[in-house]
Amino acid sequence: MAAEFAEVVVDAPYSRLDRTFHYAIPSALADQLRLGARVWVPFGHRHVEGFVVNLVDRSPVPEPKEICQLLDPEPLFDPVMLELARWIASYYLCPLIKVLKCFLPAGLKVTGQDVIGLGIETEEELASWIDYWETIDPPVAKLLAWLWENGETPVGKLGRILPAGRKDELLADLVERRLITRQTNVVRRRRAAEIVWPCRLGESVQGALMKPRLTVEQERALLRIATALDRGGYRVINLHGVTGSGKTEIYLRAIEQVLLTGRQAIVLVPEISLTPQIVAQFRQRFGSQVAVLHSRLSTAERYQEWLKIRTGQVSIAVGARSAIFAPFNRLGLIIIDEEHENSYKQEDDPKYHAREVARKRAELENVVLLLGSATPSLESYRSSLTGSYELITLNQRVESRPLPQVIVVDLREEIKAGNRSIFSRMLQEKLHERLTRGEQTILFLNRRGFATFVSCRHCGLVLCCPRCGIALTYHATASQLRCHYCNYGRTIPSRCPACHSDYIRHFGVGTERVEAEVVRLFPQARVIRVDVDTTARRGAYEEYYQAFRRGEVDVLVGTQMVAKGLDFPNVTLVGVVSADPTLNLPDFRAGERTFQLLTQVAGRAGRGERPGEVIIQTYRPDHYSIVTAQQHDYATFYAEEIKHREKWGYPPFLHLVRVVMSGFQETAVRQGAEMLGRYLAKYLPEGGNCEILGPAPAFLERIKNRWRWQIVLKGQTVAMLREIIQLATSDFEQNHQHKGLRLNIDVDPLGML
């Protein structure tokens, strides 16, 4: 017998509580309603969208309301996806409805609209009512006649017939007399016309079907992946291959095999490297079997791509992080390219990390997850060393191309030699060389570092927190240095504690300065700058990209945007104007990020026939992140970095949860954070390897007028930390209501700015 009741998660913004509601299933829907279906249900005084998460024979509440409508012919979620959503909701402490909505494209959205209909059936009846109202209240007579003529009409369109001030009152009265009906109907967005992906890269389609012969390393890697696919079952494989080792080709071959068995594949790439290049590679090999999901799609396009996946018209979904939710029902493989990338973490609720979600999905679907990177995250690499992941290594570039030569320039020497330009003598010389030879250069500067760390220009020393091991942050207002994890503070020394020079100051160079400097030194050079400011306009990135590709530009200046995914044969010089903003970020991952960025940036050079050169400028040439990046030596980098993580108690040894409290009044925020800190301390288990850092002002102390304070929890398991937070926040909410304070919780945070 079919279930009589449905447990529904409703989409109502004010039902902030993460709970479900029970509804009766009307007999008309009894046969069609399935788990995961989207429904239209009464909620309070209106109707909302909801999702069926359970079918039951009994309702805990007497006489629940009925479901009004089933919104789609098929359920939107299968049981695996529902379970995945539940896991995300619980792991990342996020209401289930938000997670479910995040699985769906915006184009599926429905809204309600109040529609008025006529409650009168015969023409005689109508005539007599019209006569009656003509004398008592003429607008009503007009309304009845209108409805007879036009049929059901949205309330909003009755403005010309009914006097605005009395509209609601009149309608309510007429509904009561049963002369009219009023109900909320579902309104769908208009279906978008079939959209054909604009294949602007037509030229590269030629020769598409020529697959390269695999290198020995590729062959070996593929064999191991193929074995895992054949064997079936859940498995995570780390594909650690140097830049240019041909990982993409391995992905393509693995997918071919998946398709042969009638299964489907998801490929995640970082948004930033979702360049036409990578998309073209997949289209060349698989043609119309590929759906592409990226943030530049319009709502309608996104919905179209989603539909193609849902209806099985395509077998491969290539996209940025949210493509992990692609609704395939015969999934066979998930690939994450550049798995270490930060953009896999969503910054808004649910603050999921696509790699973790992928792992869970692979586990639930019993499939292979392939993680590719030249610089694996410490988390993934450690898992492959401890044996829970498989590890495949590619040490060679294809066609025996050499890895680029990396030169580290010690900026301390430039100062001593009296060079005050932001370009070292070496960089100026090499740049000049490229310009005369007609070759291209990329100049790179990570601007996210702001001007916040204080370092010695003479010896390179950076002031760090003695408790947390991260760079101290300079606060101009208080003229103080502070640790934004634990709130340790100190004044700025007038002399360097290490070498006693008075060359100690904070850093401040942006990409604009770099561009200006190129123009100043080489007025004849054709320069473009690619960063968030210059590429805000839709299509701007593609324009710059194409111009650079066509050789109309000599020098490309950019932020991390240019670090990845680009493959230009004519680029023979890459200059990192300063590695220090990344290295000195107040973040325990600063060393890892520096290694990743330098490796990626360096990987841009020498992809063609001519070998490439890379110049890294820094005040800390001896730092292991820089030395190992220079030598393309991940293993040594890992060995150094993991020691620090263990010593200071950071991931992958401990988990972190970050709680940010924000509000418009500084004191209220600080006091609130202190109080929450006390509640948290109360629930901290003894000996559980748990620790509370802070409260401390967040690195970005104020965003959009809201002051921000943060507390960081460290602990062995996320489950334990979550429980402490749930108990403490519930205490906090009971005893410290409102005052406009907002809490933002981030499980396994990536950045802590």
**Could you list the residues that contact ligand ADP (CB under 6 A)?**
212-215, 218, 241, 243-249, 398-399, 567
| Partners of 48 in the β-ladder | 41
Q: What is the closest distance, in whole angstroms, from the C-beta atom of residue 472 to Zn ion in the complex?
A: 8
- Is-contact 340 373, C-beta < 8 A? yes
Q: Return d(Cα 490, Cα 438) in angstroms, integer.
A: 51
Q: Which residues contact 446 (CB under 8 A, 6 or more apart)?
A: 559, 560, 581, 582, 597
Separate counts of helices (H) and strands (E) for the chain: 21, 30
Between the alpha carbon of residue 115 and those of residues 48, 112, 436, the distances in Å are 15, 9, 72
Q: What is the closest distance, in whole angstroms, from the C-beta atom of residue 633 to ligand ADP in the complex?
A: 17
Nearer Cβ to Zn ion (70/465): 465
Provide the mask over 286-325, with x wherever binding to Zn ion is found by CB under 5 A and - wherever it is not.
Answer: ----------------------------------------
* Of 92-100, 145-153, 467-475, 741-749: span binding Zn ion (CB under 5 A): 467-475
Q: Return d(Cα 581, Cα 594) in angstroms, integer.
A: 9
Nearer Cβ to ligand ADP (48/320): 320
Is residue 28 a contact point for Zn ion (CB under 5 A)? no
Binding site partner of 544, from Zn ion, ligand ADP, none, Cβ cut-off 5-8 A by kind: none
Provide the mask over 97-136, with x wherever binding to Zn ion is found by CB under 5 A and - wherever it is not.
Answer: ----------------------------------------
Applying the rule CB under 5 A, the residues between 532 and 561 that interact with Zn ion are none
Residue entry with tokens 């992958």: 652
Sign of CA dihedral 695, 698, 704, 707: positive
Nearer Cβ to ligand ADP (247/434): 247
Q: Which residues contact 662 (CB under 8 A, 6 or more apart)?
A: 669, 703, 706, 707, 708, 709, 741, 742, 744
Is residue 456 a contact point for Zn ion (CB under 5 A)? yes
Binding site partner of 333, from ligand ADP, Zn ion, none, Cβ cut-off 5-8 A by kind: none
Pick from 185, 115, 183, 172: nearest CA to 140: 172
Binding site partner of 483, from ligand ADP, Zn ion, none, Cβ cut-off 5-8 A by kind: Zn ion
Binding site partner of 573, from ligand ADP, Zn ion, none, Cβ cut-off 5-8 A by kind: none
Nearer Cβ to ligand ADP (243/535): 243
| Partners of 696 in the β-ladder | 710
Nearer Cβ to ligand ADP (245/315): 245
Given 223, 499, 635, 681, the residue binding Zn ion (CB under 5 A): 499
Binding site partner of 41, from Zn ion, ligand ADP, none, Cβ cut-off 5-8 A by kind: none
Q: How many CB atoms lie within 10 A of CB 622?
A: 10
Q: What is the closest distance, in whole angstroms, from the C-beta atom of residue 555 to ligand ADP in the complex?
A: 23
Nearer Cβ to ligand ADP (401/475): 401
Binding site partner of 492, from Zn ion, ligand ADP, none, Cβ cut-off 5-8 A by kind: none
Q: Which residues contact 47 (CB under 8 A, 6 or more apart)?
A: 40, 41, 68, 112, 184
Q: Return d(Cα 745, Cα 659) in angstroms, integer.
A: 5
Q: How many CA atoms lie within 13 A of 657 on its CB side?
A: 25
Q: What is the closest distance, in whole angstroms, from the C-beta atom of residue 714 to Zn ion in the complex?
A: 12
Structure tokens at 44: 């309070």
Q: What is the closest distance, in whole angstroms, from the C-beta atom of residue 375 to ligand ADP in the complex?
A: 11
- 3-state class percentages of the chain: helix first, strand second, coil last, to nearest 5: 40, 25, 40
Nearer Cβ to Zn ion (345/458): 458
Binding site partner of 218, from ligand ADP, Zn ion, none, Cβ cut-off 5-8 A by kind: ligand ADP
* Of 365-373, 392-400, 433-441, 453-461: span binding Zn ion (CB under 5 A): 453-461
Residues 623-659 as b or e (16 or more Cβ within 10 Å = b): bbbbbbbbebebeebbebbbeebeebbbbbbbbbbbb
Applying the rule CB under 5 A, the residues between 479 and 498 that interact with Zn ion are 483, 485-486, 488, 496, 498
Amino acid residing at 542: E
Judged on CB neighbours under 10 Å (0-12, 13-18, 19+), 233 is exposed
Nearer Cβ to ligand ADP (153/218): 218
Binding site partner of 468, from Zn ion, ligand ADP, none, Cβ cut-off 5-8 A by kind: Zn ion
Kindly list the residues in this chain that would bind Zn ion in the complex (CB under 5 A). Answer: 456, 458-459, 461, 465, 467-468, 483, 485-486, 488, 496, 498-499
